[in-house]
Amino acid sequence: MRILLRRLGALAIGLALVVTPGLQARAQPAAAAKIGDLIGPHRCNQLVGYGLVAGLQGTGDQISNTPQTRQTVLDFAQRIHRTPPPGWEHARSFAAVMVVANCAHLWPLDQALDISVLAMGDATSLAGGWLQPTPLLGADGETYAMAMGPVELGQGSKSASQAPSLTGGHIAGGALATLPAIDGPSRRDPFRLRLKSPSASLAATVADAINQRYPGVAQAQGPEAVLVTPLIDQPYQLFYFNVLELEVPR
């Protein structure tokens, strides 16, 4: 009888060792990932602005040849309630520039963006110049960022053997996003979340997760993207980033 009890006890321990790991595995919650971690680069138009570089040492636009620069200087001075310094029209200390920020990825509010600066008039060099506050607009006409700062010659990617352009430059982190970047013509139009790893099942899962929180706003578009319609009664930024924080099972 004792032998039988010992054998039964050993069998019970063996079964426990075999069954328990499986039970523990089933008890563990499924791994989850945030939607923001599952989406990849988004298409977005460049942000473009027309600005003014000041503080140049005789290398700026010749005002007599560039009436647009003259008007820009006067408009800027009026905006900050100042008058240009005496002799400014002959000092060549200002240059009209185009300012561009590329948005290869989505960015959140207050994100710093790198910008490129290119002379539009007859300036010979932007060296030592300071870009005055410049709004950067998207294709929808919205202002998505404000740019300003000291201009560094070149585009920041040339090799040491290449001489930087004197009339083109960049400012690392020179713009601050005032609206998050989106993938759509308007901040109230539907935007697309493009998946890093296209999968019909994953797209459906992401859409389901969004619809559980915000019923009826998300729809899978094949294996590559999910179309999301913003809620009208919520601030766009809050809704957008709340969606990115939602979790889906992996």
Task: Give per-residue pLDDT as tens, 98-125.
Answer: 999 876 545 566 678 899 999 999 999 9
**β-bridge pairing 168-177 and 112-119:** antiparallel
142, 212 Cβ separation under 8 angstroms: no
The pLDDT value given to residue 206: 96
**In contact, 172 and 156? CB cutoff 8 Å:** yes
What ranges do the domains of the chain cover?
A: 47-177, 184-249
Work out whether the CA dihedral 204, 208, 209, 214 comes out positive or negative.
positive
pLDDT mean over 123-144: 90
What is the residue-averaged pLDDT of the chain? 81
0.75 surpassed by pTM: no
Picking from 113, 133, 115, 245, the residue whose alpha carbon sits closest to that of residue 179 is: 113
Query: Residue 148 is encoded by which pair of tokens?
Result: 């300003």
**Residue spans of alpha helices (H) in the chain:** 2-27, 35-38, 67-79, 88-91, 200-213, 236-245
* Range from 29-33, 94-98, 179-183 carrying the lowest mean pLDDT: 179-183
pLDDT of residue 54: 95
Is the pLDDT at 5 greater than 50, yes or no?
no
- Inform me whether the pLDDT recorded for 19 exceeds 90: no
CB 223 within 8 A of CB 198: yes
Q: At which residue do the structure tokens 């404000």 appear?
A: 146
By residue count, the chain amounts to 250
